[in-house]
Structure 1
């Protein structure tokens, strides 16, 4: 009996509960044709018909012999030979759907690459690598390929009509796996196989005797001889030799390679390689560990024996990554897999480089900027137990078969929380549960633990290991609070840069060091207004002001993407001159060029890192010293490690502290401490300048004194007194509809139902600070309750039933309700 199955009857119809990629409250049951009974098992993909003529890829969740209370349709075809999902994955999906009050179909949509989710509307096209060799195709495959040469693209309905059969998914899967056809979105991603330029002996020099003659032919050239010797050494160790490797190892130029080609000794060719290896550099030994690292490693090993998660609280630059690496190496050497989670794609390039320095090609990067074919390659490798993975929260859904260790780096980071669409999960919490399912060890690491993780450690649910010193004995950066009102002594006051910050920037650059400036708003200016009547240009779809982007000369909404050309005069009073208010990263960069025209600057925000390689190129330029100053949003706080950074400037600390959120103080402390940690991480003590108007704010005092303990104790007391997480559980409900009166009526009705069932733990409906978003008016409700798992599950069931009831209420069925468990 396989997992998730009830015992199958000896005779009679077999039924399969199938997960389809739709927001259905339960799985749908299909009958299993007799020919599929011996091979069908949970985790396999099947083709099913849903509705009148819609076909979907579904996942078999359970097989049983109990007939449902409705007329069943048969499974049309089985797509896979072996299960695509492991039993542990199906358990994880069940848990996520239950915990986050969403549906299995929504979890499936989040968890599977689109290449693995075929539907009737899927469009296929002929792959760029296909040659006209029809010998490799069977009759059905040939008909599809022939049609694509004439029509360029087909829907799966078209394929069904061409083949005159209902079951086409297995045929399409075979063509996709062999890269004969591609999904349309893959070509939009401009999929190309990854190729490297390689060198090999020409046919005239393939034998040992001929190769000896080659040395005689190049004997007069030292460089050509050196290249030939190096080629012999490399070709014995690797199946192919990269052209770049030969020039790098010998110091020869391309002209030397070309000369060997001209003499007929070498020939050049391109070789397609997998994108998932990544071990381009030789594995090297890491530096000796410090006493603090050795002690922390011993503590972690001891706590992991107790089979509970371990929280490593280490100051920035303390060497936590090295501790992770030692444990990762042990797990990989034991034949198990590792999942290393990061909060942002921004971190993957630098971290992967560091991990591969020690682990070589045993670790693979996975994230949303990979195209579909790359993701499927990694999926299959992980399912086969061949590789470990580093990536952001989406890597949680990979089919680990031998998971031995989960590392959650920067565990405090809010980027681990999925905001929309469903499932609105927290990657940190799901990772802990995933490790539990596999019996794997769990490490959480950060310089600024979240209050939730700290409370778990305080209660003994997590083990705790502290690392209070920076690696190499380097002192923590000096933190200076600068009065944002400060002038230059002549009565001149700049709105963005205090004289203190400007002096330190100039001194840092004169020492040959680099500067990071943090401003948590992108664009040039967040407000475009009329100085006469105070009219502000707003988004037509959302209740937010449009942000001015100078480079594009456009006003843009950061919520829905609406774009508008800036009006020359006020639309309300016709005043001829509009003004800009506030400050974004683009403006900081622009203004700084006035003071430091010779400085080389880069900007790191969502506008500058949209391309697949844009972020990696920017970080590489800064790391190589090609940039002097990096201006960025919170991306620059995410654990990046640059040895030349001598100064970090926080432009406006007040913005962080005045955010309307119960976590505002915690997040401000985390952001400022993390961005401060980018300074002076290698050779000398760095400096941090924090500009603020309210310099007496207790959070700033704690950052100034690096007093995390005082901050966490004060924040903990405040949360307990006011009834906020982690001392209360929260469920947040947001209602949306294009008409204000409809959403207000729906919120009142839903609120009354919940209040009747749950009492005063339900808030009154309220309008959020942004009352309209993407043409929809918003109303919100919050449920706060004691952190009792049984009670929380009961409340989630009540909320789910109430939301479903609202969905069938006359006049209110168009209201969309998003349920967010453990919000913010």
Structure 2
């Protein structure tokens, strides 16, 4: 039940506790001027001064009549007429700050669009829609616009100087609401729909009889007749026929198809498709399959019992169709839905499928939208009118009628926020949000996390299983190829086994496509001297620089530092420097040698940095313009293509040897998820996993698609070694530019914690990467019994130790980062 905030005092001085977008230990108290008494309530933005010259848009948390014990500053202006945040949102912020050991200000910074959390440093520029029409501007607004036409950018301090007054936020708000100005941060253009060139019958040949007569016109051309027959066949199976697809299927040149257009038999047109392709034909809300009906009934049973539902469904089983049925029920009842995805890249595909049924009742929200789009979505959700699909940032929207929360691909590590604070897990916050609103909740995955599986096993969640692919398509055939395998001549290639190369060739010859997974980008991760073994290191981090061949640069994947490759070894003078290891660039390069005729592309962070780059790449793959897609983890996440006949995992050993207690679980999930991209329609796909350790138990379970056996063994190992979910973990990381200072601070912190918590404390010790972004690191790990009361006590101890370190001479500069539920 939502806790109602106390009423403001009716007499005497009124004070407001205000949340500022700063890492302050608590809210800051301001005095409410008499003219604002009666206007203010929790959730409103107000303009306040903090420190000597800084002004911020803060959020009122509480109104009261208790003097804080220090001289208070007055609130300068009221920015909003109605509250921007709900009481439930503010309570969620407080829960997150408490659970994840951060401040309310850090949660505010993460949760609000930048338009809504302006500060003195915010830069304002004219909006692209401003048309020089000044008739609706008042005197203050006109002065701001005039100044912007002369110098293009202004800070809020500049605007105060122009207007000769301190309170400028209400003026700024009015211009922002009318799109006259924009905050400069994160400005980007709106998304544009992706379209594919398609073919259809011209107006003269729309009926069956007219189409028969078309064959008379092409009777003298064997190629035109073949194209026409192929078109008729394909058009019966799918709602549109791609121009490139028709050409590829028949082997006809573009000139043949153009000849049919010239005869008015065909016409070209542009058809809008999903950015991530492939799923339109099966995405409409048609009849549910038998298994989907059973799953839907089981989910309703879980909800009737007051439990979240965990859907464990194999890849391609149609979990989204089950979600959609429940979403329709909620939206028809006037309630809101939050549909969470782990990656921005997936929102295009899912939104396309959902909007075919739900129309504009569901909106997409993510960080690539511009400021105004995000604010408009914020207001639409606050009004209770719209439902939302998006990544973890969508959790912060102001839902007022939330009825259902869906967490798709709930196992995905992308739900965990790493930097900066709050370091929250979107899946877990979503469950709290649903509980807070009394909403129903669903988690779905083909490879559920051990945490969710344990919740289902202990009956905290209800378990719903879907074991068959939609439409009865068989799961892919899976095999392991020994990485040391040689060809008939005894030749051994370090990256591809003969089995994999032969299957790639055969798949392309059948007109199908290939996805190859290599979980490392760049060309080679090590650039070294073979004589003295010196290697090129990052100047800011304790990692080797990765060589990127196409840029001919060495790059740090931790901090972004870039440099040119050295011409010789600075230690011994050797000029023949070498490369070691394999990344996606090298895989792409080597494939072009083996398969020169194949059309190959790479999907990793380097090739998808542009706003439209990912959509364009997947569009090419979806329409058949590419034969092979080489990628990192991005290719494992929910992609759905008709023609993928083969999936290859280049190096399973690399996944299994990662130094992390979750390595086996992540490896199992990645391999089974990427395998699920193969054979998702009529033909059974094939998966080849290259590995040295063919008998590794994780590989055995992957080949058998035996999730239950894997998760039971993983649970036994975690329980035996006191790892999550059977222990609660908190990582405390100390950072400082000087190693001795970081070590001294860590020793003191470890000593204080050990005194209070005994053998629950491990460390301090250096992490595997001991220096990151110029800071030396020291880790302390706590493994705790998962009891709420114990967790609260431990967090209080951590806070006291952090405060004590901050006041210790010579150690005040040591930064303490607390990460609850890390990794």
Deviation (angstroms), 1:152? 2.4
CA distance in 1, matches of 2:191, 2:497: 51
Question: What is the TM-score normalised by the length of structure 2?
Answer: 0.88
Match in the other structure for 2:223: none
CA distance in 2, matches of 1:36, 1:702: 66
Deviation (angstroms), 1:764? 2.0
CA distance in 2, matches of 1:467, 1:126: 53
CA distance in 1, matches of 2:455, 2:780: 28
Q: Is the 8 A contact 2:190 2:369 kept in 1?
A: no
The within-5 A match list for 1:440-451 is 440-451=439-450
Q: Is the 8 A contact 1:4 1:61 kept in 2?
A: no
CA distance in 1, matches of 2:159, 2:769: 47
Match in the other structure for 1:573: 572
CA distance in 2, matches of 1:468, 1:128: 51
Match in the other structure for 1:520: 519
Name the SS for the 2:83 alignment partner.
coil
Match in the other structure for 1:143: 143
Q: Is the 8 A contact 1:768 1:780 kept in 2?
A: yes
Match in the other structure for 1:347: 346
Superimposed CA distance per residue, residues 582-615 of structure 1 (whole angstroms, 9 cap, x where no aligned partner) = 0001110110011111111111111111111111
The within-5 A match list for 1:167-566 is 167-185=167-185, 189-191=187-189, 285-566=284-565
Superimposed CA distance per residue, residues 438-476 of structure 1 (whole angstroms, 9 cap, x where no aligned partner) = 111100000011010011011111111001111122221
Name the SS for the 1:763 alignment partner.
strand
Q: Is the 8 A contact 1:344 1:392 kept in 2?
A: yes
Deviation (angstroms), 1:131? 2.6
Match in the other structure for 2:73: 73
Superimposed CA distance per residue, residues 362-404 of structure 1 (whole angstroms, 9 cap, x where no aligned partner) = 2211111112122112111111122211111011111111111
Match in the other structure for 1:111: 111
CA distance in 1, matches of 2:126, 2:282: 39
Match in the other structure for 1:162: 162
Q: Is the 8 A contact 1:101 1:819 kept in 2?
A: yes
CA distance in 1, matches of 2:283, 2:649: 37
Name the SS for the 2:759 alignment partner.
helix
CA distance in 1, matches of 2:641, 2:122: 44
The within-5 A match list for 1:568-717 is 568-717=567-716
Match in the other structure for 1:99: 99
CA distance in 1, matches of 2:504, 2:363: 38
Match in the other structure for 1:49: 49
Q: Is the 8 A contact 1:284 1:358 kept in 2?
A: no
Q: Is the 8 A contact 1:404 1:440 kept in 2?
A: yes
Q: CA RMSD for the aligned pairs?
A: 2.2
Give yes or no for the alignment of 1:810 onto 2:809: yes
Q: Is the 8 A contact 2:190 2:370 kept in 1?
A: no
Name the SS for the 2:306 alignment partner.
coil
Deviation (angstroms), 1:489? 2.4
Deviation (angstroms), 1:182? 1.6
Q: Is the 8 A contact 2:314 2:446 kept in 1?
A: yes
Instruction: Call closer, same or farther: CA 1:193–1:622 in 2, change over 3 Å.
Output: closer
CA distance in 2, matches of 1:282, 1:603: 26
Superimposed CA distance per residue, residues 238-275 of structure 1 (whole angstroms, 9 cap, x where no aligned partner) = xxxxxxxxxx99x9xxxxxxxxxxxxxxxxxxxxxxxx
Give yes or no for the alignment of 1:743 onto 2:745: no
Name the SS for the 2:67 alignment partner.
coil
Match in the other structure for 2:276: none
Match in the other structure for 1:277: none
Match in the other structure for 2:87: 87
Deviation (angstroms), 1:640? 1.2
Give yes or no for the alignment of 1:787 onto 2:786: yes
CA distance in 2, matches of 1:411, 1:503: 36
Question: What is the TM-score normalised by the length of structure 1?
Answer: 0.88
Q: What residue ranges of structure 1 are gaps of 5+ in the alignment?
A: 198-220, 224-247, 252-280
CA distance in 2, matches of 1:285, 1:318: 15
Instruction: Call closer, same or farther: CA 1:165–1:509 in 2, change over 3 Å.
Output: same
Structure 1, 285-294 or 75-84: larger mean CA deviation: 285-294
Name the SS for the 1:646 alignment partner.
strand
Deviation (angstroms), 1:139? 1.7
CA distance in 1, matches of 2:192, 2:706: 49
Instruction: Call closer, same or farther: CA 1:193–1:397 in 2, change over 3 Å.
Output: same
Q: Is the 8 A contact 1:406 1:443 kept in 2?
A: yes
Deviation (angstroms), 1:10? 2.3
CA distance in 1, matches of 2:50, 2:307: 43
CA distance in 2, matches of 1:368, 1:457: 33
Match in the other structure for 2:224: none
Q: Is the 8 A contact 2:732 2:819 kept in 1?
A: yes
Match in the other structure for 1:799: 798
Deviation (angstroms), 1:539? 0.6
Deviation (angstroms), 1:127? 2.3
Superimposed CA distance per residue, residues 414-445 of structure 1 (whole angstroms, 9 cap, x where no aligned partner) = 11000010000000000000111111110000
Deviation (angstroms), 1:545? 0.5
Give yes or no for the alignment of 1:775 onto 2:774: yes
CA distance in 2, matches of 1:408, 1:126: 38
CA distance in 2, matches of 1:288, 1:572: 70
Name the SS for the 1:566 alignment partner.
coil
Superimposed CA distance per residue, residues 530-563 of structure 1 (whole angstroms, 9 cap, x where no aligned partner) = 1111111111111100000011000000001111
Superimposed CA distance per residue, residues 498-537 of structure 1 (whole angstroms, 9 cap, x where no aligned partner) = 0000011111111111110000000011011111111111
Deviation (angstroms), 1:571? 1.8
CA distance in 2, matches of 1:757, 1:514: 59
Match in the other structure for 2:252: none
Give yes or no for the alignment of 1:127 onto 2:127: yes
Deviation (angstroms), 1:717? 0.6
Deviation (angstroms), 1:360? 2.1
Name the SS for the 2:669 alignment partner.
helix
Give yes or no for the alignment of 1:62 onto 2:49: no
Q: How many residues are matched? A: 747
Instruction: Call closer, same or farther: CA 1:759–1:283 in 2, change over 3 Å.
Output: closer
Q: Is the 8 A contact 1:482 1:498 kept in 2?
A: yes
CA distance in 2, matches of 1:285, 1:698: 40
Deviation (angstroms), 1:4? 5.3
Deviation (angstroms), 1:282? 13
Superimposed CA distance per residue, residues 43-94 of structure 1 (whole angstroms, 9 cap, x where no aligned partner) = 1111000011110010011111111111111111110111111111111100
Name the SS for the 1:655 alignment partner.
helix
CA distance in 2, matches of 1:800, 1:643: 53
Q: Is the 8 A contact 1:389 1:395 kept in 2?
A: yes
Match in the other structure for 1:16: 16
Q: Is the 8 A contact 2:188 2:368 kept in 1?
A: no
Deviation (angstroms), 1:579? 0.7
Q: Is the 8 A contact 1:312 1:466 kept in 2?
A: yes
Structure 1, 782-791 or 144-153: larger mean CA deviation: 144-153
